[in-house]
């Protein structure tokens, strides 16, 4: 369900800690920007990126005999690599891939390969099975910003997931 009402959008933005939620909601409605849909898309994407605030997952993966790259991680850690550095590197590479994919989905024609008969793709929010709003600026929005911002995002996702887990138990 798309939120078109300024009050609903403001509530949505306030719940996520945006400082200028009311102004952002007004601008989004005035300009026809799918702000709620865009934020939801980015929140879902953020849930999939490797956490960097706690690199324990790197060590756990190295110790897991069934993990696809566990042996590789074990060797890299044994050679002296810091799990935190590996977590940051993994997240950076995920962001880099997501940004490159965003470039394709944004229609930024920077392809080095020959022309193809079809090169236009996109991401849309779907309402009742129908594309309702196109999510744009994916290349920039999905890319690695800076380490402080990435650390903050990693913490906030972990906190949100903990909140979701505790509310599921009630």
pLDDT of res. 1:
40
Counting Cα atoms < 13 Å in the Cβ hemisphere of 22 gives: 0
DSSP symbols for 78-92? HTT--HHHHHHHHHH
Burial class, 167, CB count within 10 angstroms (exposed 0-12 / middle 13-18 / buried 19+): exposed
pLDDT of res. 56:
93
Distance CA 169, CA 21 (A): 31
pLDDT of res. 110:
63
Distance CA 31, CA 134 (A): 13
**55 Rama class: left (phi>0) / alpha (psi -120 to 50) / beta:** alpha
Distance CA 63, CA 74 (A): 7
Q: Where are the domains of the chain?
A: 51-169
pLDDT of res. 150:
87
Closest among 24, 78, 46, 92 to 3, alpha carbons compared: 24
pLDDT of res. 94:
93
Q: Which residues of the chain have pLDDT under 50?
A: 1
Q: pLDDT tens across 99-132, in order?
A: 989 888 887 766 666 777 777 788 999 989 999 8
Distance CA 10, CA 165 (A): 26
């Amino acid at each position: 369900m798309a939120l078109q009402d300024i009050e609903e959008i403001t509530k949505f933005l306030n719940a996520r800690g945006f400082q200028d939620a009311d102004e952002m909601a007004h601008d989004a409605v005035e300009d026809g920007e799918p702000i709620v849909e865009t934020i939801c898309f980015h929140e879902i994407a953020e849930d999939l990126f490797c956490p960097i605030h706690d690199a324990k997952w790197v060590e756990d993966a190295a110790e897991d005999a069934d993990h696809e790259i566990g042996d590789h991680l074990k060797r890299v850690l044994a050679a002296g690599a810091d799990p935190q550095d590996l977590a940051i590197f993994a997240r950076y590479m995920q962001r880099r891939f997501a940004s490159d994919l965003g470039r394709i989905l944004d229609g930024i024609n920077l392809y080095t390969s020959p022309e193809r008969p079809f090169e236009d793709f996109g991401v849309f929010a779907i309402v009742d099975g129908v594309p309702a709003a196109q999510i744009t600026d994916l290349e920039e929005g999905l890319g690695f910003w800076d380490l402080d911002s990435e650390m903050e995002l990693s913490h906030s996702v972990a906190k949100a997931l903990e909140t979701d887990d505790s509310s599921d138990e009630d």
